[in-house]
C-alpha cells in the first residue's frame, strides 16, 4: 500500500506527531538511519514554522514514484500570513522571531528537492523530497 499521511498542525504536540509519521514512513521505505534523521529534522522544522508563524496548517508525508525514482515527499501547507521575502527566508540566520534562522535553509540542505510557494496574506506551501 502506498504510504500517505496528513497531519494537521493545530498544537505544539502535532509537531511530534508529524515527526513520528515521517520516521515511520522513512523506515517503511527502507531509508537508512541518516536519511531518516534528515527527514524527521526537516519535518520538525517545517511543522515548527507552521506552529510559530502560520497555524493552522498541515504536514503531508507521502511516498512518490517518478520515472525510476522512489522518494519521500513532505508537503507543509498553511494559510498563514505568507513569507514576504522568500530569498531572505532562505538565508542562514534570517529570522523574524529571534530564532536561529536555520530552519528553512536547513530543510533545503537536508533534502534533495525543495521549493517554496508563498503569497502574502494567503499562505505558504513548502515541498521537499528525499530520493531513496
Query: Is 126 buried (19+), middle (13-18) or exposed (0-12) by CB count in 10 A?
Result: buried
Using the rule CB under 6 A, is 20 a contact of ligand ADP? no
Query: Which listed option, ligand ADP, Mg ion, none, makes contact with residue 9 (CB within 5 to 8 Å by class)?
Result: none
With CB atoms as reference, the residue minimizing the distance to ligand ADP is 103
The partner in contact with residue 56, picked from ligand ADP, Mg ion, none with C-beta cut-offs of 5 to 8 angstroms by kind, is none
C-alpha to C-alpha distance for 26 and 90, rounded to whole angstroms = 25
- Hey, what's the cell of 125? 506551501
48: left (phi over 0), alpha (psi -120 to 50) or beta: alpha
Is 104 a binding residue for ligand ADP by CB under 6 A? The answer is: yes
The residues of the shown chain that bind ligand ADP, judged by CB under 6 A, are 45, 49-50, 53-54, 78, 80-81, 83, 89, 94-97, 99-104, 124
Amino acid at each position: 500500500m502506498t504510504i500517505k499521511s496528513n497531519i494537521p498542525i493545530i498544537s505544539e504536540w502535532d509537531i511530534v506527531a508529524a515527526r513520528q509519521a515521517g520516521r515511520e514512513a522513512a523506515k517503511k521505505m527502507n531509508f537508512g538511519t541518516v536519511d531518516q534523521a534528515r527527514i524527521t529534522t526537516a519535518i520538525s522544522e517545517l511543522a515548527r514554522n507552521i506552529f510559530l508563524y502560520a497555524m493552522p496548517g498541515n504536514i503531508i508525508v507521502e511516498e512518490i514514484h517518478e520515472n525510476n525514482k522512489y522518494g519521500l515527499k513532505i508537503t507543509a501547507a498553511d494559510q498563514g500570513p505568507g513569507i514576504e521575502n522568500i530569498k531572505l527566508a532562505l538565508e542562514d540566520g534570517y529570522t523574524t522571531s529571534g530564532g536561529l534562522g536555520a530552519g528553512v535553509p536547513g530543510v533545503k540542505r537536508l533534502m534533495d528537492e525543495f521549493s517554496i510557494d508563498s503569497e502574502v496574506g494567503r499562505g505558504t506551501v513548502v515541498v521537499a523530497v528525499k530520493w531513496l
